[in-house]
Structure 1
């Protein structure tokens, strides 16, 4: 069996989903978080200035390397976002001890928000980004949108029409996102009164930091936010019981969030602030409404049911197709 080293954030249950799908594709997977701890202070320090905890990161990396050095991997796969704590020298050390492996990088945060990632791209044989603007800026990158897992595919197959909510939003409360979701919520109240909104912060520390640093959150109340992520079944039930999914891109980001792809997988309608969505092959005006600050209730989106997307287009955004491209793509 081929061996794969997976380094990525422990974000919701995505590492487990990716690992399970890789197992299905015939890979034995070793997974390591890209930061030394999910402790609130550690997460906050990495985002603000990881040099604050450099010694702690070095100790964690040494622990990782004790295991990595004892194995031979066919693929080293780094899914990189703003939580990445490993420095260039650390990536180089992994590369040096696994000379036979194919190194693949996937960026699921934009270079605009995470410019450091440009410094480590040279260590990888293939580099992908979910953001079309990254590809324009760095032509050596390949464009690859995010994915939906089998869980959302199953929701789509069941096609439950007994809705508990008119729309749902579950996501991290980035300042711009918080402002726009609140605007959409207020403007949709008349036609979509049953709303489920779950603003998430990884810790109260991040909430207080954001409230201090971002004007969009100055009047936000602590009680508006949740500090533990929704568990898998809770999340699935919310999606299954919702007619529509709200989405707002983080400031500086052009790529589609994973929530958009999960809504596609679950065959749900989508309201998003991301104008670039009209350039994707699954875009249908009956299914997707681009929010520009106002809601037009005469739009075809509000007057029609969700229409089926062609099967070949639908399937290409599945996690297994995404991983097949990562592993086998040129």
Structure 2
């Protein structure tokens, strides 16, 4: 069986779940190189002292992050040089990895494949890196350019076996995300609508800055793991998804809702162009009537045929990448 290497940032423990799903599908030939495995160390006491001076005297709190990224980059380059050859190498979250690193990786495989979980307009520094890849997959149809080997591939849901326990429903609507100013206004407005309609909600935003709650919106500076996130998903009737204006790609939230048969509320109307869209399952903000929101949440979920649902599984996603 061909050897495969996956290179990625282990954001929210997703790489652990990818490993679990690969084991469930009997892929025993996959290795990982993770960005987050690199634990920062100062080169020497002078570098550490310089950081303390910059932070306390100059108020420069970003200098350590610059040092950390340089340390990770250098460590990854050295690891890349020592890698054996692989039949296929997959690179996720491409924006974390430099051109210098990718140029080394390119020499270690016959087939280098990228999969980007963001809009290219939000991460334009990815464009110069495309030259290293044989195929590059994006989740926004507007970014597709097959002449340049940029192909369309949605996000997915994990399809390893789980305990079949009936979760206790704690909230009508659940939303988790990172604080982004451009969509915070929309979130506050919609949260107020939920409150007015007496629809219970759990809203959690990650922010490095300490912030007090605003209405039903709570803030945290602690990352939730993907498993913790799924605990809230399972215990909610509906999920809320708010898109960024720079892209129309469907977030992981759509596929989590598909897997767990949860209602979804979104401001991304492009979902109507997907075969799993059902008006009874997906409420589009700005198009569907707010008067029907309570009924939308309470009405039964419309089951999606297995042949459609399975197209968006991890298994299908992974086979596309390595084919």
Q: TM-score range by the shorter chain?
A: 0.7 to 0.9
Q: Is the 8 A contact 2:21 2:159 kept in 1?
A: no
Partner residue, 1:214 = none
Alignment partner of 1:196 out of 199, 202, 210: 202
Q: Name whichever of 29-38 and 288-297 sits farther off.
A: 29-38
Change (3 A) 1:192 1:168: farther
Task: Describe the SS at the equivalent of 2:29.
Answer: strand
2: CA distance, partners of 1:104 / 1:137: 14
Whole-angstrom CA distance in 2 between matches of 1:274 and 1:137: 24
- Show CA shifts across 1:74-95 (max 9, x none): 211001254x1x3222211111
Q: Is the 8 A contact 1:22 1:28 kept in 2?
A: no
Map Cα deviations across residues 180-238 of structure 1 (whole Å, 9 max, x no partner): 2222111012335321112123xx2xx38xx9xxxxx9x979x9421222245533331
Q: State the secondary structure of the residue aligned to 1:292.
A: coil
Tell which structure's C-alpha radius of gyration is larger: 2
Q: Which residue in 1 is equivalent to 2:88?
A: 75
Q: Indicate if the aligned counterparts of 2:206 and 2:223 stay in contact, CA closer than 8 A.
A: yes
Corresponding position: 1:187 with 2:193? yes
Tell me if the contact between 2:206 and 2:220 (Cα under 8 Å) persists in the aligned partners: yes
The aligned residue for residue 318 of structure 1 is 313
Quickly say closer, same or farther: Cα 1:138–1:252, change in 2 above 3 A: farther
Contact 1:187–1:295 (Cα < 8 Å) also in 2: no
The aligned residue for residue 62 of structure 1 is 77
The equivalent residue for 2:10 is 10
Change (3 A) 1:34 1:54: closer
SS of equivalent to 1:120: helix
Name the CA distance, whole Å, in 2 between partners of 1:38 and 1:266: 35
- 3-state SS of 2:11 partner: coil
Bigger CA drift: 288-297 or 190-199? 288-297
Q: What secondary structure does 1:76 align onto?
A: strand
2:55 aligned partner: none
Counterpart of 2:99 (choices 88, 109, 121) is 88
**CA 1:252–1:127 in 2, change beyond 3 Å: closer, same or farther?**
same
Partner of 1:189, secondary structure, is: helix
| 1:1-330 matched pairs, under 5 angstroms | 1-23=1-23, 24-34=25-35, 37=38, 55-68=70-83, 71-82=84-95, 84=96, 86-96=97-107, 98-99=108-109, 101-135=110-144, 140-150=149-159, 154=162, 162-201=168-207, 204=208, 207=209, 224-292=218-286, 296-298=290-292, 301-302=296-297, 304-328=299-323
Return the alpha-carbon distance in structure 1 between the equivalents of residues 316 and 26 of structure 2.
11
**Counterpart-to-counterpart distance in 1, 2:165 and 2:276:** 20
TM-score between the two structures when normalised by the length of structure 2: 0.80
Q: Does the Cα contact within 8 Å between 1:166 and 1:192 map onto a contact in 2?
A: no
- CA gap of 1:25–1:131, structure 2 versus 1, over 3 A, is farther
**Aligned residues of 1:159 and 1:267 also touching (Cα < 8 A):** no
Aligned length: 301
RMSD (Å), alpha carbons:
3.4
The CA distance in 2 between the partners of 1:158 and 1:113, in whole Å, is 39
Cα deviations by residue, 1:88-116 (Å, 9 ceiling, x for unpaired): 222111112x14x3111111111110011
Give unmatched runs, 5+ long, in structure 1.
Answer: 212-216
- Quote the Cα distance in structure 1 between the aligned partners of 2:72 and 2:236: 41
State the TM-score, normalized to the length of structure 1.
Answer: 0.79
Q: Alpha-carbon deviation of 1:261?
A: 1.1
The alpha-carbon distance between structure 1 residues 176 and 295, as it changes in their structure 2 partners (threshold 3 A), is: farther
